[in-house]
Amino acid sequence: MNKFYTLFVCLILILSCSDQPEPHAQLNRGGGYSKYLVAQGQWLGKLNNNENKKIPFNFEVTKDSIFIINSEERIGAKISIYKDSLRVKIPVFDSELRFIKTKDGLRGYWHNNTKTNQKLLFHAFLNQKGQKNRFDVDKNNIYSLYGGNWETTFSKGTKNEYKSLAIFHQEGEFATGTFITETGDYRYLQGNVCNDSIFLSCFDGAHAFLFEGSLIDNVIHGVFYSGLQWSEPWVSFKNDSFALTNPYMLTQKVERERLEFTFPNIDGENLSYPDNRFHNKVVIIQLFGSWCPNCVDETKFLAGLYDRYQDRGLEIIGLAFESPKKLSDKIARVKDLKSHTGSKYEFLIAGNASKKEAQNALPWLNEVSSFPTTIFVDKKGHIRKIHTGFYGPGTGEHYAKYTAEVDALIEGLLNE
């Protein structure tokens, strides 16, 4: 009898142990267990700012990976367990989503550590409508037409006024596009048109953008929201002939100053220009920061350019102006960028994330008005062109035109 009792107790213990959920399954506070951390499929996330505005973004969960979607862009990251919650560390940028699962979906915060530990409330739910839907649209939506090029002014009538070219693409109630400025672009924007209003947003781990606008008498009147509390008005009117200032005309070489610098590389060793390793080479000098999405876009482009032309005599030097105070932390941020983009060219730590500091560090430039700024140097060490800002892939034909121009420029300089 004792043998049968012992066997019975052992069987109960075995069955009891086999029914225990794995640690990550215990986090499924919405009920039900899965071998993956988060329910699979399309999700709609929303970030809340201080003005009670919700900045939406789409993402897809596949196994224990998340893919943040902004129009044509997909940003991949891993979901992991963090203490009693879940975490998604955004590639390159010093930010992360931390959240728990609830019966309605996900709830937590986006921590943007580059903005003095700024955090925005985050919640998300499974999106049955698919990744194109980002904003609520009326069932009887009679939408206005927003497609085309729009001459835009931000903060009109103030000391902070600046011009922009807005490019919108519309398919029915769905809209994509971007705003190009003289210092860069607002990357991939995605949203919806509802009646006479347009709504566009972007979340890439570095920024959370929301653009709202209403079309009144052929003029768009809107507000731009960024992060926790920034906002500014914008106004646009259709103008297919509008163009910004030529980006090659904004930053100039100071004639009396010599092109030279010395900064530590990511191995902690000083590297100088000019130097024997750059003798009779075409050199691109990139001013950037790993915290800057436009800079990351440019770094990906330059990485491909370097792979194509290095054997023919092209060198690229990235001068990083970084947010962390410690040199070791700056190096860590740049190493992360280098790894993420697969870049093989040289990176130097040039200073803090400040345009003023960049200008002081490089007195041979009359000003540094944008990260990135790109300097093209010929084999004799003469600056041939300086490009302020970067037209990223979210600008479509503008990106294609600029990258083709750079290819032609490098070909010409290498053949001299």
Q: In angstroms, how far is CA 211 from the centroid of its own chain?
A: 16
| DSSP SS3 for 402 | helix
Exposure class string for 356-379: b at 16+ Cβ within 10 A, else e: eebbebbebbeebbbbbbbbbbbe
- Cα gap 328→81, rounded to integer Å: 27
Amino acid 115: pLDDT: 75
- Cα gap 96→86, rounded to integer Å: 10
Residue with tokens 């690229």: 316
Amino acid 138: pLDDT: 79
Q: Which residues of the chain have pLDDT under 50?
A: 1-33
DSSP state of 406: H
| DSSP SS3 for 200 | strand
Residue type, 338: K
* pLDDT, tens only, 332-356: 999 999 999 999 999 999 999 999 9
Spatial neighbors of 275 by CB under 8 A, at least 6 apart, are: none
Residue with tokens 């999700």: 43
Backbone angles phi, psi at 168, to 5 degrees: -120, 140
DSSP letters for 65-113: EEEEEETTEEEEEEEEEETTEEEEEPSSSSEEEEEEE-SSSEEEEEEET
Amino acid 117: pLDDT: 67
- Cα gap 331→268, rounded to integer Å: 8
Exposure class string for 60-80: b at 16+ Cβ within 10 A, else e: bbeebebbbbbbebebebebe
Model pTM score: 0.89
Bridge partner residues of 82 (DSSP) = 85
CA 95-392-74 angle, 5° bins: 50
Spatial neighbors of 364 by CB under 8 A, at least 6 apart, are: 253, 254, 257, 258, 259, 260
Amino acid 253: pLDDT: 96
All structural domains of the chain, each given as residue ranges with its CATH number in brackets, are: 22-126 (2.40.128), 148-238 (2.40.128.120), 261-414 (3.40.30.10)
DSSP state of 156: T
- Cα gap 247→388, rounded to integer Å: 5
Contact 188, 201 (CB under 8 A): no
What is the phi-psi region of residue 313: left when phi exceeds 0, alpha when psi lies from -120 to 50, beta otherwise?
A: left
Torsion angle in degrees (nearest 10) through CA of 53, 237, 202, 211: 0
Spatial neighbors of 264 by CB under 8 A, at least 6 apart, are: 270, 271, 327, 348, 349
| DSSP SS3 for 7 | helix
Amino acid 396: pLDDT: 95
Helices and strands (H, E) in the chain, number of each type: 6, 24
Q: Where are the alpha helices (DSSP H) in 140-281?
A: none
Amino acid 14: pLDDT: 36
Amino acid 159: pLDDT: 96
**Does residue 274 have a cis peptide bond before it, meaning omega lies within 30 degrees of 0?**
yes
Amino acid 4: pLDDT: 44
User: Between β-strands 261-264 and 184-185, what pairing exists: parallel, antiparallel or unpaired?
Assistant: unpaired
Name the token pair of 125. Answer: 């739910």
Q: Count CB neighbours of 196 within 10 A.
A: 14
Q: Count CB neighbours of 331 within 10 A.
A: 20
